[in-house]
Amino acid sequence: MNKNELVTNISEKSGLTKKDVEAVVNGVIDEITAALKDGDKVQFVGFGTFETRERASRTGRNPQTGKEITIPASTVPAFKAGNKLKEAVK
């Protein structure tokens, strides 16, 4: 499912216009992004937690040349599923 399909499904189920639903979905995504950028967690009880994790620097290989390269440390977004989501997917 992509974002357009999500907006359409929510619009049909809620009776709201696609424009209103899209504004809400975009707002939620923007707020989660802003919180992660600031180093905060976003937690939806039962659904899951969005957070950032630190990835250490490591040595990799350039696949074209085989030469070793250093991959720098970075901060990456992560999602940890909640219990209700895990049970629903089982």
59 occurs within a structural domain: yes
Q: Could you give the number of structural domains in the chain?
A: 1
Q: b vs e for 51-71, b when ≥16 Cβ sit within 10 Å of the residue's Cβ? A: bbeeeeeeeeeeeeeeeeeee
pLDDT at residue number 53: 96
- Would you state the structure tokens that stand for residue 14, as one six-digit string? 């809620």
Q: What average pLDDT does the segment 8-14 reach? A: 96
9 occurs within a structural domain: yes
Whether 53 and 42 have beta carbons less than 8 Å apart is answered as: no
Give me the domain span that covers residue 14: 3-85
pLDDT at residue number 15: 94
35 occurs within a structural domain: yes
| pLDDT, tens digit (0-9, with 9 covering 90-100), for 72-87 | 999 999 999 999 999 9
Closest C-alpha among 77, 73, 74 to residue 36: 77
| pLDDT, tens digit (0-9, with 9 covering 90-100), for 21-48 | 999 999 999 999 999 999 999 999 999 9
pLDDT at residue number 38: 96
